[in-house]
Amino acid sequence: MPKIYTKTGDKGQTSLLGGKRISKSCLEMDAIGEIDELNAFLGILIEEIEDDFKAEKRKLIGVQRSLFVVGAILASVQTKLIKVPKLKNTEVVKLETWIDKMEKELPRLTQFILPTGAEGATCSFYARAICRRAERRIVQLSNVYPLEPIINTYINRLSDVLFVFGRWINMKEGIKEIKWKK
């Protein structure tokens, strides 16, 4: 069995898809790292939400799979590879459908709320913050390399899902939202 360590990155270099060696501190790796952190934190969110949210856990696992596709796309920006997975518009539609379904049950939001409440809700709010950071890095990357617009759309919509999901969990758990006061 091959070892997990290759020692090829010991001097601060890594490989993109296709084998091109780059600095671990470059913009591409920063964006990929943000997506990786988001994906890992979604794993925590999945474990923190109650077991009676099975359908939501399945949706979040689907999101994790889509984030692997996003990572692969970001890792291929400097290549001419043609077998890189594509993110489909149906994934954005799934997120929008999920948002619409949750929002039908939620009270209308009329002012800012504090990102607090049940453990699952606070994890969702925190995942949203990570998602927004990833989005900023992807926008920076798209200023250097052409990216398909669906990447930005998907990540933007995912941050919306995570915000609404946090609210929805609090509502399901009977936890009242704390409104921000000026």
Total structural domains within the chain: 1
Domain membership of residue 13 (yes or no) is no
Domain contains 88 = yes
pLDDT at 65: 98
pTM over 0.85: yes
Q: What is the mean pLDDT of residues 95-117?
A: 96
- Measured CA to CA, the distance from residue 173 to residue 167 in angstroms comes to 10
13: confidence class by pLDDT, cuts 50, 70, 90: low
Within a domain: residue 12?
no
In this structure, is residue 65 part of a structural domain? yes
151 vs 23 pLDDT, higher one: 151
Residue 4 has pLDDT above 80, yes or no: no
Cα 166 vs. chain centroid, distance in angstroms? Answer: 14
Tell me the C-alpha distance between 160 and 166, whole Å.
10
C-alpha Rg value of the chain to the nearest Å = 18
**Token pair belonging to 49:** 């939400």
Q: Which residue has the tokens 């990102």?
A: 115
Q: What is the pLDDT of residues 126-149, one digit of tens each?
A: 999 999 999 999 999 999 999 999
pLDDT in tens, 23-79: 566 788 899 999 999 999 999 999 999 888 999 999 999 999 999 999 999 988 877
Q: Is residue 30 part of a domain?
A: yes
For residue 103, the enclosing domain spans 22-172
In the beta sheet, which residues pair with residue 14? 22
What pLDDT is recorded for position 5? Answer: 72
**Has residue 169 got a pLDDT over 80?**
yes
H-helix or E-strand spanning residue 13? strand 13-15
CATH number at residue 99: 1.20.1200.10
* Residue 45: Cβ-neighbour burial (10 angstroms; 0-12, 13-18, 19+): buried
Distance CA(8)–CA(20), nearest Å, equals: 12
The answer as to whether 83 is a domain residue is: yes
In angstroms, rounded to a whole number, what is the distance separating the alpha carbons of residues 90 and 63?
Answer: 12
Whole-number pLDDT of residue 16: 64
Residue 178 falls inside a structural domain:
no
| Averaged confidence pLDDT in the chain | 90
Calculate mean pLDDT across residues 82-107: 94
Q: In this predicted model, which residue has the larger pLDDT, 100 or 11?
A: 100
- Residue 127 CA: distances (Å) to CA of 67, 134, 164: 13, 10, 12
Within a domain: residue 106? yes
* Rounded CA separation 178/166 (Å): 13
In the numeric block, which tokens belong to residue 5? 């360590």
